[in-house]
Structure 1
Amino acid sequence: MDQEMVFIPMILFMIFVAPIWVVMHYRSKNNKGSGISEAEHQRLQELVHVADSMIERIETLEAILDQETPEWRKKYERK
């Protein structure tokens, strides 16, 4: 009789709760693994564009400094 009392809830759990639990688990894993959102991707692209333009500006400024003051790099290089 005691075995029947444990066996029935176990069967009900396996029929109703376990499948829903498994589906919800893998659905949440799929949502986490989908990567970044479209808005985040767009923001990263904007930041890459800003960084590229900053690199160009720095290179231009360095070229100007090289022409006007050729020894400036020696003064500001890390030792």
Structure 2
Amino acid sequence: MSKKQHSLRDLHPGQSGRIIAIEGTGALKRRLIDMGLTPGCDVFVRKVAPLGDPIEINIRGYELSLRKDDAEKILLEN
């Protein structure tokens, strides 16, 4: 069975996936990695704001809010 690849932005509340890559370069990529968003980590989407931005995820046992533009750079497989 093949695994589907998509971005964190595509997930809805209650869905999860495993990080396979962080796109981009520079300060944004470094900031995302420093927050614990590293390849191999499981991510669970807890909720999405009423207007769709930001999204709240659970990673490594803590909650983290991300803008959808940043979440788009995080590639997942489920």
TM-score range, shorter chain: under 0.3
Structure-1-length-normalised TM-score: 0.18
Instruction: Give the structure with higher Rg (CA).
Output: 1
Higher RCO (Cα < 8 Å, 6 or more apart): 2
Instruction: Write 1 or 2 for the structure with the bigger share of strand.
Output: 2
Instruction: Write 1 or 2 for the structure with the bigger share of helix.
Output: 1
